[in-house]
Amino acid sequence: MYIAELFWVLIGCLWVARCVEWLPTRLADEDNFAISQILFQNSSDKNTSVPSALDAPLLSFFSSLPSRGLATTCYACATAIIAVWAYMIYGPGLSFVAWTIFGWGLLVLASVDYRTKLLPDVLTLPLLWLGIVIQLFPETRTIGIELSVIGAVAGYLPLWLLAQAYRLIRGRDGLGMGDLKLLAAMGAWSGPFILPQVLLLAALLAIAVFVIERLVHRSAGGFHEERPFGPAIVAAYFIVLIFMR
Protein backbone atom coordinates (compact mmCIF):
# COMPACT_ATOMS: atom_id res chain seq x y z
CA MET A 1 0.00 0.00 0.00
CA TYR A 2 1.32 3.46 -0.84
CA ILE A 3 2.56 5.62 2.05
CA ALA A 4 0.00 8.37 1.40
CA GLU A 5 -2.87 5.87 1.29
CA LEU A 6 -1.65 4.19 4.47
CA PHE A 7 -1.46 7.56 6.22
CA TRP A 8 -5.01 8.54 5.27
CA VAL A 9 -6.32 5.11 6.19
CA LEU A 10 -4.78 5.42 9.65
CA ILE A 11 -6.26 8.90 10.10
CA GLY A 12 -9.61 7.64 8.86
CA CYS A 13 -9.54 4.66 11.23
CA LEU A 14 -9.01 6.91 14.24
CA TRP A 15 -11.67 9.37 13.08
CA VAL A 16 -14.29 6.72 12.39
CA ALA A 17 -13.44 4.92 15.63
CA ARG A 18 -14.10 8.15 17.51
CA CYS A 19 -17.38 8.64 15.64
CA VAL A 20 -18.47 5.10 16.49
CA GLU A 21 -17.87 5.79 20.16
CA TRP A 22 -19.14 9.38 20.34
CA LEU A 23 -22.01 9.64 17.86
CA PRO A 24 -24.50 7.32 19.65
CA THR A 25 -24.09 9.35 22.85
CA ARG A 26 -24.62 12.58 20.93
CA LEU A 27 -27.79 11.28 19.28
CA ALA A 28 -29.12 10.03 22.61
CA ASP A 29 -28.47 13.47 24.14
CA GLU A 30 -30.38 15.14 21.31
CA ASP A 31 -33.30 12.74 21.79
CA ASN A 32 -33.35 13.44 25.54
CA PHE A 33 -33.27 17.16 24.84
CA ALA A 34 -36.23 16.89 22.44
CA ILE A 35 -38.19 14.85 25.00
CA SER A 36 -37.41 17.37 27.74
CA GLN A 37 -38.68 20.18 25.52
CA ILE A 38 -41.96 18.36 24.92
CA LEU A 39 -42.38 17.67 28.64
CA PHE A 40 -41.56 21.29 29.45
CA GLN A 41 -44.12 22.60 26.97
CA ASN A 42 -46.80 20.34 28.44
CA SER A 43 -45.84 21.15 32.01
CA SER A 44 -47.79 23.66 34.08
CA ASP A 45 -44.61 24.76 35.85
CA LYS A 46 -42.91 27.03 33.29
CA ASN A 47 -40.20 27.94 35.78
CA THR A 48 -38.61 24.56 35.34
CA SER A 49 -35.27 24.89 33.60
CA VAL A 50 -34.85 23.11 30.30
CA PRO A 51 -31.53 21.40 29.63
CA SER A 52 -29.65 22.90 26.74
CA ALA A 53 -28.88 20.95 23.59
CA LEU A 54 -25.35 22.22 23.99
CA ASP A 55 -24.82 20.38 27.27
CA ALA A 56 -22.85 17.83 25.22
CA PRO A 57 -21.09 20.14 22.73
CA LEU A 58 -19.16 19.02 19.69
CA LEU A 59 -15.99 19.69 21.66
CA SER A 60 -16.80 16.52 23.63
CA PHE A 61 -15.93 14.63 20.45
CA PHE A 62 -12.31 15.13 21.43
CA SER A 63 -12.44 15.93 25.13
CA SER A 64 -13.15 12.38 26.34
CA LEU A 65 -10.71 10.68 23.96
CA PRO A 66 -7.97 10.00 26.54
CA SER A 67 -10.44 8.58 29.08
CA ARG A 68 -11.89 6.09 26.59
CA GLY A 69 -8.72 4.92 24.94
CA LEU A 70 -9.51 1.20 25.11
CA ALA A 71 -12.89 1.49 23.39
CA THR A 72 -11.46 3.79 20.73
CA THR A 73 -8.61 1.35 20.13
CA CYS A 74 -11.07 -1.54 19.63
CA TYR A 75 -13.12 0.46 17.15
CA ALA A 76 -9.93 1.57 15.38
CA CYS A 77 -8.95 -2.09 14.97
CA ALA A 78 -12.35 -2.84 13.43
CA THR A 79 -12.04 0.05 10.98
CA ALA A 80 -8.50 -1.05 10.10
CA ILE A 81 -9.74 -4.58 9.35
CA ILE A 82 -12.36 -3.14 7.00
CA ALA A 83 -9.73 -1.05 5.21
CA VAL A 84 -7.39 -4.03 4.85
CA TRP A 85 -10.22 -6.18 3.50
CA ALA A 86 -11.16 -3.53 0.93
CA TYR A 87 -7.52 -3.17 -0.14
CA MET A 88 -7.05 -6.93 -0.53
CA ILE A 89 -10.16 -7.15 -2.73
CA TYR A 90 -9.81 -3.99 -4.83
CA GLY A 91 -6.20 -2.85 -4.46
CA PRO A 92 -5.25 0.84 -4.51
CA GLY A 93 -7.67 3.14 -6.25
CA LEU A 94 -11.10 4.68 -6.07
CA SER A 95 -12.89 1.35 -5.50
CA PHE A 96 -10.78 0.80 -2.40
CA VAL A 97 -11.66 4.28 -1.13
CA ALA A 98 -15.38 3.85 -1.86
CA TRP A 99 -15.70 0.44 -0.20
CA THR A 100 -13.67 1.58 2.79
CA ILE A 101 -16.03 4.50 3.28
CA PHE A 102 -19.03 2.20 2.91
CA GLY A 103 -17.63 -0.32 5.38
CA TRP A 104 -16.83 2.39 7.90
CA GLY A 105 -20.32 3.84 7.46
CA LEU A 106 -21.89 0.46 8.18
CA LEU A 107 -19.76 0.08 11.30
CA VAL A 108 -20.91 3.48 12.58
CA LEU A 109 -24.54 2.64 11.83
CA ALA A 110 -24.32 -0.70 13.64
CA SER A 111 -22.87 1.01 16.72
CA VAL A 112 -25.44 3.82 16.66
CA ASP A 113 -28.36 1.40 16.30
CA TYR A 114 -27.06 -0.88 19.04
CA ARG A 115 -26.73 1.94 21.54
CA THR A 116 -29.67 4.17 20.57
CA LYS A 117 -32.01 1.97 18.46
CA LEU A 118 -31.72 4.60 15.73
CA LEU A 119 -30.49 4.46 12.15
CA PRO A 120 -30.38 8.16 11.24
CA ASP A 121 -31.05 9.27 7.67
CA VAL A 122 -27.98 11.49 7.80
CA LEU A 123 -25.90 8.30 7.66
CA THR A 124 -28.02 5.82 5.69
CA LEU A 125 -29.07 8.03 2.78
CA PRO A 126 -25.55 9.20 1.77
CA LEU A 127 -24.43 5.57 1.67
CA LEU A 128 -27.44 4.70 -0.47
CA TRP A 129 -26.74 7.47 -2.98
CA LEU A 130 -23.02 6.75 -3.00
CA GLY A 131 -23.76 3.15 -3.97
CA ILE A 132 -25.71 4.39 -6.99
CA VAL A 133 -23.24 7.11 -7.95
CA ILE A 134 -20.24 4.76 -8.09
CA GLN A 135 -22.03 2.76 -10.79
CA LEU A 136 -21.63 5.72 -13.13
CA PHE A 137 -17.84 5.38 -13.31
CA PRO A 138 -16.06 2.37 -14.84
CA GLU A 139 -13.29 2.34 -12.22
CA THR A 140 -15.74 2.03 -9.32
CA ARG A 141 -18.66 0.18 -10.92
CA THR A 142 -19.69 -2.99 -9.10
CA ILE A 143 -23.02 -4.20 -10.53
CA GLY A 144 -24.11 -1.48 -12.96
CA ILE A 145 -26.63 1.30 -12.56
CA GLU A 146 -29.65 -0.85 -13.44
CA LEU A 147 -29.02 -3.53 -10.81
CA SER A 148 -28.03 -0.86 -8.31
CA VAL A 149 -31.37 0.92 -8.62
CA ILE A 150 -33.26 -2.40 -8.57
CA GLY A 151 -31.30 -3.43 -5.48
CA ALA A 152 -32.16 -0.18 -3.69
CA VAL A 153 -35.85 -0.63 -4.48
CA ALA A 154 -35.77 -4.33 -3.55
CA GLY A 155 -34.15 -3.50 -0.21
CA TYR A 156 -36.83 -0.98 0.72
CA LEU A 157 -40.18 -1.51 -0.99
CA PRO A 158 -41.09 -5.15 -0.13
CA LEU A 159 -40.24 -4.77 3.54
CA TRP A 160 -41.96 -1.38 3.65
CA LEU A 161 -45.15 -3.06 2.45
CA LEU A 162 -44.66 -5.81 5.02
CA ALA A 163 -44.12 -3.22 7.77
CA GLN A 164 -47.32 -1.39 6.79
CA ALA A 165 -49.28 -4.64 6.84
CA TYR A 166 -47.87 -5.51 10.27
CA ARG A 167 -48.85 -2.07 11.58
CA LEU A 168 -52.42 -2.49 10.30
CA ILE A 169 -52.75 -5.95 11.83
CA ARG A 170 -50.95 -5.46 15.16
CA GLY A 171 -51.36 -1.71 15.63
CA ARG A 172 -47.65 -1.08 16.21
CA ASP A 173 -44.41 -0.96 14.28
CA GLY A 174 -42.54 -4.22 13.74
CA LEU A 175 -39.63 -2.94 11.65
CA GLY A 176 -38.02 0.48 11.67
CA MET A 177 -37.73 2.54 8.49
CA GLY A 178 -34.02 2.92 9.17
CA ASP A 179 -33.56 -0.82 8.70
CA LEU A 180 -35.21 -0.58 5.29
CA LYS A 181 -32.97 2.29 4.20
CA LEU A 182 -29.93 0.34 5.39
CA LEU A 183 -31.00 -2.65 3.28
CA ALA A 184 -31.66 -0.32 0.34
CA ALA A 185 -28.10 0.98 0.63
CA MET A 186 -26.75 -2.57 0.62
CA GLY A 187 -28.86 -3.34 -2.43
CA ALA A 188 -27.49 -0.27 -4.19
CA TRP A 189 -23.93 -1.46 -3.58
CA SER A 190 -24.29 -5.20 -4.12
CA GLY A 191 -27.51 -5.69 -6.07
CA PRO A 192 -30.84 -7.32 -5.22
CA PHE A 193 -29.68 -10.93 -5.20
CA ILE A 194 -27.65 -10.57 -2.00
CA LEU A 195 -30.57 -9.25 0.04
CA PRO A 196 -32.46 -12.53 0.73
CA GLN A 197 -29.26 -14.10 2.07
CA VAL A 198 -28.52 -11.05 4.22
CA LEU A 199 -32.05 -10.98 5.65
CA LEU A 200 -32.09 -14.70 6.42
CA LEU A 201 -28.70 -14.65 8.10
CA ALA A 202 -29.52 -11.43 9.99
CA ALA A 203 -32.70 -13.00 11.36
CA LEU A 204 -30.78 -16.09 12.47
CA LEU A 205 -28.12 -13.94 14.14
CA ALA A 206 -30.74 -11.84 15.93
CA ILE A 207 -32.52 -14.97 17.18
CA ALA A 208 -29.22 -16.48 18.34
CA VAL A 209 -28.32 -13.31 20.26
CA PHE A 210 -31.78 -13.23 21.86
CA VAL A 211 -31.52 -16.88 22.96
CA ILE A 212 -28.04 -16.33 24.39
CA GLU A 213 -29.24 -13.26 26.30
CA ARG A 214 -32.15 -15.23 27.73
CA LEU A 215 -29.82 -18.01 28.85
CA VAL A 216 -27.17 -15.75 30.35
CA HIS A 217 -29.45 -13.03 31.73
CA ARG A 218 -32.82 -14.34 32.79
CA SER A 219 -34.26 -10.82 32.75
CA ALA A 220 -33.07 -9.96 29.23
CA GLY A 221 -36.53 -8.79 28.19
CA GLY A 222 -39.56 -10.29 26.52
CA PHE A 223 -40.37 -11.14 22.94
CA HIS A 224 -42.18 -7.85 22.39
CA GLU A 225 -39.32 -5.67 23.58
CA GLU A 226 -37.89 -3.40 20.87
CA ARG A 227 -34.46 -4.59 19.78
CA PRO A 228 -31.98 -3.08 17.31
CA PHE A 229 -31.83 -5.08 14.09
CA GLY A 230 -29.17 -2.97 12.38
CA PRO A 231 -26.12 -4.70 13.92
CA ALA A 232 -27.40 -8.09 12.78
CA ILE A 233 -27.99 -6.77 9.25
CA VAL A 234 -24.49 -5.28 9.06
CA ALA A 235 -22.83 -8.44 10.43
CA ALA A 236 -24.81 -10.62 8.01
CA TYR A 237 -23.90 -8.38 5.08
CA PHE A 238 -20.17 -8.62 5.79
CA ILE A 239 -20.39 -12.39 6.25
CA VAL A 240 -22.24 -12.84 2.96
CA LEU A 241 -19.77 -10.57 1.16
CA ILE A 242 -16.80 -12.55 2.45
CA PHE A 243 -18.21 -15.93 1.49
CA MET A 244 -19.45 -14.71 -1.88
CA ARG A 245 -15.93 -13.76 -2.94
Q: What is the CA radius of gyration of the chain?
A: 20
- For 146-173, the pLDDT digits (tens) are 999 999 999 998 888 887 887 787 766 6
CB 90 within 8 A of CB 99: yes
How many other β-carbons are positioned within 10 Å of the β-carbon of residue 36? Answer: 17
Q: Is the dihedral of CA 152, 121, 75, 206 positive or negative?
A: negative
Whole-number percent of the chain with pLDDT over 90? 28
Question: How much is the pTM?
Answer: 0.74
Residue-wise pLDDT tens digits, 71-128: 566 777 778 888 888 888 888 888 988 998 899 889 888 888 888 888 888 889 999 9
DSSP state at residue 4? H
Secondary structure element (H or E) that encloses residue 66, with its range: none
| Segment 174-215, tens digit of pLDDT | 666 888 999 999 999 999 999 999 999 999 999 898 888 878
Q: Which residue from 65, 76, 88, 89 is spatially nearest to 9, judged by alpha carbons? A: 76
